[in-house]
A = this chain, B = another copy of it.
Amino acid sequence: MRALVVHEFGGIDQVSLGEMPKPVPKAGEVLLEVRAVSVNFVDVVMISGVYQFKPARPFIPGKLPVGVVAAVGEGVTKFKPGDRALAQAEYSGFAEFVAMPENQCVPLPAAISFAEAAGMAIVYDTAWFALTDRGRIKPGDNVLILGATGGVGLAAIQLAKAFGAKVIATAGSADKCRACTKLGADRAVNYRSEDFVAVAKEATSGKGVDVTLDMVGGDYTERNIIAAAEEGRIVQIATLGGADVKFNISRLMMKRLTLTGSTLRPRTREIKAGFARALEAKVWPLLASGKVKVVIDSTFPLAKAADAHRRLEAGEHIGKIVLVV
């Protein structure tokens, strides 16, 4: 089958379309014919070899592909050929086929396209977990979303609004700010010209924000602490601005803040299966009813994966970038 193959760790440019053996589903496994798969920062990090998890070479990157079940292994009961599904794969999705255990596959609702499903896969479960489990969001909360025009941020804006929260979102241009308010943000902050701490204080009558979702880190962490309300929860979900943080912990104590975070990668299969169920039960109905949308920035064919990653790295995108197989 055709796939993007990494022979040695390095840059995305050296990863090219090649031939790999088509997987054969073992007992309990589902063989998925891939139709779409999103492009993520984690792919680049995994390809470069600096990620904490280093697959044996050669390997195929590509997280959470979606497609149509082509065949099933012995004992598979939940899927049959022709079903639409998402595979909870950490990598191996940039290919024509992928095999996964059936309990790590999630049926796709009829209402959404393959590109939408690929676009929502990572972002909605990340945003869902960050807002609920980590951020303990509740109706009426003030929620600050920093770096809001990536996929997770746009998903989080919509989910937070669906939870009845008030949303302040930051982005780096007027266009991106408009995308945030269009999706429901009550206030968009252009961080190049405005101080999000001042806006957060002003928009909450000095109280500060209850939940912060931060993809930036670095010197944002201390500012997040200053912008937080008493008992506020700050959830770190990426560190695009650097992982080294410093702050005065007295502020955190005085306001009884919670600084927490997560990455989805190191979870057990059981926890991922739980997310899959939550996604099915809680998020897909919102999607089916049109209450939340998947924002697709652009689609590329598999052979143009490097172009797709370059667009991601340039940071001009609004929403998810998806490869269509």
Task: Give A contacts to B, CB under 8 Å.
Answer: 52, 134, 217, 221, 230, 236-237, 239, 243-250, 252-254, 256-263, 266
Contacts and interface: CB of A to CB of B under 8 A. Distances in A.
B262 A256 contact: yes
Given A245-B246, A258-B258, A252 B236 contact: yes
Given A217-B249, A257-B260, 6 more contacts: A134-B256, A236-B253, A256-B260, A256-B261, A258-B258, A258-B260
9 contacts: A221-B249, A239-B250, A244-B249, A245-B247, A245-B248, A246-B247, A254-B263, A256-B260, A257-B260
Given A245-B246, A246-B245, A252 B256 contact: no
A192 to B, nearest CB: 23
A254 B245 CA distance: 15
A260 B234 CA distance: 10
A254 B52 contact: yes
Given A259-B259, A259-B260, A250 B254 contact: no
A227 B187 CA distance: 40
Nearest to A214: B249
Nearest to A265: B254
B256 A258 contact: no
A259 B261 CA distance: 10
Contacts of A248: 243-245
Nearest to A252: B261
B266 A261 contact: no
A273 B80 CA distance: 60
A243 B254 contact: no
A230 to B, nearest CB: 8
B249 A246 contact: no
A294 to B, nearest CB: 25
Given A259-B259, A259-B260, A249 B254 contact: no
A272 to B, nearest CB: 14
B249 A253 contact: no
Nearest to A251: B243
Contacts of A237: 253
Contacts of A247: 244-246
Q: Which of A134, A257, A259 has its CB near the most chain B CB atoms (within 10 A)?
A: A259
A204 to B, nearest CB: 18
